[in-house]
Amino acid sequence: MNPRTAKLLINGLLLGASAAALFPLLWMLSVSLMHPGEAGALPPPLWPAHATLHNYRELFLRAGMGRYLLNSLAVSTAITALSLAFNLMAGYAFAKLRFAGRERLFRALLGALVIPAQVAMLPLFLLLKTVGLVDSYAGVIMPAMATVFGIFLVRQYARSMPDELLEAARIDGAGEWRIFVQIVLPLMKPIMVTLAIYTFLTAWNDFMWPLIVLTGQDHYTLPIGLASLAREHAQDTELMMAGSVVTVLPVLALFLLLQRYYLDGLMLGSVKG
Amino acid sequence: MNAPRAAWLFLAPALLVLGIFFLLPVIGALGLSLTDYDLYALADIHNLRFVALHNYLALLQRPLFWSALGHTVYFVAVGVPLSMLTSLGAALLLNSPLARCKPFFRTALFAPVVTTVVAVAVIWRYLFNTKYGIANFVLGQLGIHPIDWLGDPHWAMPTIILFAVWKNFGYNMIIFLAGLQAIPPELYEAARIDGASAWRQLRHITVPMLGPTLLMVGILTVSGYFQLFAEPYVMTEGGPLQSTTSVLYLMYDEGFKWWNLGSASAVAFLLFLIMFAVTAVMLKLARCGEPREQEPA
C-alpha cells in the first residue's frame, strides 16, 4: 500500500468512527427541538422542520426536570468536594507519612477492589433505613465520600513529591496539617483536577445506588428522573430526547472544557498504575 | 504532633467512610445471605431466621438464576472482545503518524464515555425502534426486512452489546493509546529496516509490548461488563421474555421489588465469586502464556 492510500484509509476510518460516535448525540439534540410526533415519521427526519423549545418547556414546567437538575448538581458537587478532601488526605498519608502497617493496610484496600460495589448495596440500604437516611441526599452522598481508586491515584502522584521539601518544613517547625495545606496541596493541583472531574462525572452518571436509595421523586437525580420518565412517556420521543439533552449536556460541556486535564490524567494513571 | 498519630488522623475520614459504607455492608451481606430476610422480617425483625446455605442451594435450582447468568456471560463473552478490539483499533488509528486532527478525533471518540447511560440508552431505544428507527430505515433501503431489535429475544442482547461497545470503547482506547505511546519507536525503526510488513510489526512488536496493558484492560473490562444493569433496565426492562435479565437485574428485582433481601444477597455473593474466579483464571492464563507469544485478549 502506498503512503497516500494508507493516509486516506486511516483518516477515512477515523472520520467514520467519529461520525458513528457522535451521530446519536447530534441526532438527540436535533430531535429534542422537534414538535411532538414529528420524529415518528418515515423516513426519520434529521432536522426539525420548525425548531421549537416546546419539549424543554414541558420538561421543566410539568415533569419536574428543574428539580432533578438541581438535585444532580447538589449531590454531584457535594460528593466531589468531600471525596476529593478525604481521598487527598488518605492518599498523601499512604505516600508520605510513616506508620506501622502502612503497606499492609494499603494492599488490603487494593484487594477490596475485587469486591463489586453491588454486594454492599442490600445491607447498606437496611443500614440507612435504620438511621432514617433512605430517600435523602445524604443517603446518596455519604457512601461516595471516599474511594479506593481515588486514594490510589493520589498516592501514586504524591509518591513523586520530594521528601526533602517536607523534611525542611518539619525542621522549620511546621505542623503536619500546615505542611499538607501549604506545601502538599499546591503541588497536587494536577491530580486534584483530574480526580475532581472524574468524580463529578461518575457521581452525575451514577444509576444503580441512587435508584435504590431514592424512593421518592423529590430527591431524584437526573438519571433516575429520566429513567422514570422514560417508562411513563415511552412513545414521546421528542420529550425524551430533550430529557437526555438536559442530562448529558452538563457533563459533556464539563468534559469538553477540561478534557486536557481529564484525558492526560487518565493516561498518566494508566501508565503508572 | 508525632508522625504516626498525624498519619492516622489523615487516614481517619476515608477509612471511616470505607469501613462503615463498604466493609461493614459487605460483611453484612454475607450474613444476610444466610438468612431468610424478606418483607416479614423487614416489618418485624423477629421473623428473621437463620437458614444456612438454603438461599444458595435454592438459587442453584432456579432456572431464572441460570438464565440470568447465561445472559450475563453472553454479554461478557461477546461484548468484551468486541469492545477491546474496537478500542485497540481506534487507538492504533489515533497513534498512526499519518493521522490528522488527532485532538479532534480523540475527543469525538471519547465523547460517548462521559455521557449518562440512561440518557444515551433512551436515544438508542429510538435509533433501534422497529417502526421509526433509523437502523431499520437504513436496512430497508438495502432491501432487508425490519428487525424488532429490542422486542425480539434473539436480537435484544446483541443490540445491548452494540450499545455497550459504542458507549465504552473510548475509555480503553485512551489506556491503549498511552500504552502505544510508551513503546520505543526504535523497535519499529529496526523492523522497517528488516523489511517487516505493517501486519508483522503489529503482531511481533505492538501486541507483545502491550501485553500487560491488554491484561489489565481485559480484567477491568470483564468485571465492568459482569455488572450489567442500567442498559437492560432502561432499554428492555429485562425483557423480552427475560432475554436481557442479567444477574444484577435479578438481584435488584429480588431485593428491591420482592424484598427477598436474603436471597438477593446470595445472588450478589455468587456474582462476586464468579467474577473472582474469572479474574483468577485470566491471570493464570496470562502467566502460562507469557513465555510464548501473547495472543490479543
Q: Measure in Å the smallest separation between the Cα of A243 and chain B Cα atoms.
A: 8
- CB-based contact, A138 to chain B, within 8 Å: no
| Among the partner residues B29, B116, B129, nearest to A119 by beta-carbon distance | B29
Closest to B32 (Cα-Cα) out of B255, B273, B277, B271? B255
Which of the 8 DSSP states describes residue B22? I
pLDDT in tens, chain B (297 residues): 467 888 999 999 999 999 999 999 999 999 999 999 988 888 888 888 899 899 999 999 999 999 999 999 999 999 999 999 999 999 999 999 899 999 999 999 999 999 999 999 999 999 998 888 889 999 998 988 889 999 999 999 999 999 999 999 999 999 999 999 989 988 888 988 888 888 888 888 998 999 889 999 999 999 999 999 999 999 998 889 999 999 999 999 999 999 999 999 999 999 999 999 999 999 998 888 765 544 444
Give the dihedral sign, CA B151/B152/B153/B154: negative
d(Cα A201, Cα B134) in Å, to the nearest integer? 29
Grid cell in block for residue A200: 463529578
Q: Which domains does chain A have, with CATH numbers?
A: 54-272 (1.10.3720.10)
Contact A81, A148 (CB under 8 A): no
Which of B229, B279, B226, B273 lies closest to B249, judged by CA?
Answer: B229
Render the burial of A56-81: b for 16+ CB within 10 Å, e for the rest: bebbbeebbbebbbebbeebbebbbe
Q: Is the pLDDT of residue A80 over 90?
A: yes
Rounded to the nearest angstrom, the gap between the alpha carbon of residue B224 and the centroid of all alpha carbons in its chain is 3
Name the residue of chain A whose CA is nearest to B41's CA: A126
Give the count of Cβ contacts less than 8 A between chain A and B.
286
Chain A neighbors of B226, CB-CB under 8 A: 116
What grid cell was written down for B243?
Answer: 432475554
Here the cell at position B214 is: 491488554
Establish if A55 touches chain B: CB-CB under 8 angstroms: no
Is a pLDDT exceeding 80 seen at residue A239? yes
B258 touches chain A (CB under 8 A): no
A139 in contact with B, Cβ within 8 Å? no
Of B14, B90, B98, the CB nearest to A151: B14
Q: Three cell numbers at A54?
A: 416546546
CA-wise closest residue to B231 among B129, B116, B151: B116
Q: Which of B26, B108, B252 has the CB atom closest to A21's CB atom?
A: B108
| The pLDDT of residue A41 | 81
Residues in A closer than 8 angstroms to B125, CB to CB, are 230
Instruction: Mutation target for B interface from A127, A270, A272: give the one with most B CBs within 10 A.
Output: A270
Nearest chain A alpha carbon to B182: A271
Provide the shortest C-alpha distance from residue B44 to chain A (in Å).
Answer: 13
Asked whether the beta carbons of residue B126 and residue A39 sit closer than 8 angstroms, the reply is yes
**Does the distance separating the beta carbons of B1 and A176 come in below 8 Å?**
yes
A241 contact residues in B (CB cutoff 8 A): 122-123, 126
Q: A85–B13: do the CB atoms touch at under 8 Å?
A: yes
pLDDT score recorded for residue A270? 61
Kindly state whether A263 is in contact with chain B, defined as any CB-CB distance less than 8 angstroms. yes
3-state class of A110 per DSSP? Answer: helix
Digit-coded pLDDT (tens) for A177-207: 999 999 999 999 989 999 999 999 999 999 9
Answer whether A206's CB lies under 8 Å from A72's CB: no
Mean pLDDT on A223-229:
94
Whether the CA torsion A244, A247, A248, A250 is positive or negative: it is positive
Question: Which pLDDT score is estimated for B297?
Answer: 42
Which chain B residue's Cα is nearest to A108? B23
pLDDT at B290: 63
Tell which residue, A209, A207, A85, A198, has the closest CA to residue A140: A209
Residues 6+ apart with CB under 8 A from B242: B64, B67, B68
Closest CA in chain B for residue A84: B14
Candidate from A24, A87, A114 with C-beta closest to B279: A114
Q: Could B122 and A151 be called an inter-chain contact, meaning their C-beta atoms sit closer than 8 Å?
A: no
Grid coordinates of B176: 491503549
Residues of B in contact with A271 (CB under 8 A): 178-179, 182
Contact residues for A5 (Cβ-Cβ < 8 A; gap 6+) = none
Do residues B86 and B165 make contact, with C-beta atoms less than 8 angstroms apart? yes
Dist. CA B163–CA A269, nearest whole Å:
27
3-class DSSP state of A197: helix
**What was the ipTM of the complex prediction?**
0.92
Least confident of A134-143, A226-235, B168-177: A226-235
Q: Which residue of A has its CA nearest to B16?
A: A146
Q: Does pLDDT of A273 surpass 60?
A: no
Whether B94 and B177 have beta carbons less than 8 Å apart is answered as yes
pLDDT at A246: 96
B182 interfacial to chain A (CB closer than 8 Å) = yes
Q: Does A271 touch chain B (CB under 8 A)?
A: yes
From A257's Cα to the closest Cα of chain B, the distance in A is 11
- Chain A from 187 to 246: CB within 8 A of any B CB: 201, 204-205, 207-208, 211-212, 222-224, 226-227, 230-231, 237, 240-241, 243-245
What whole-number distance in Å separates Cα of residue A198 and Cα of residue A183?
Answer: 24
Q: Please report the domains of chain B, with CATH numbers, ordered by start residue.
A: 63-289 (1.10.3720.10)
Contact B233, A98 (CB under 8 A): no
Q: Which residues in chain B have their CB less than 8 angstroms from residue A94's CB?
A: 11
Nearest to B100 among A11, A31, A175 (CB): A11
Any CB–CB contact under 8 A between B109 and chain A?
Answer: yes
A133 touching B (Cβ < 8 Å): no
| Distance of alpha carbon A73 from alpha carbon A67, whole angstroms | 10
Phi, psi of B46 (to 5 degrees): -70, -15
Spatial distance between the Cα atoms of A216 and A210, rounded to a whole number of angstroms: 11
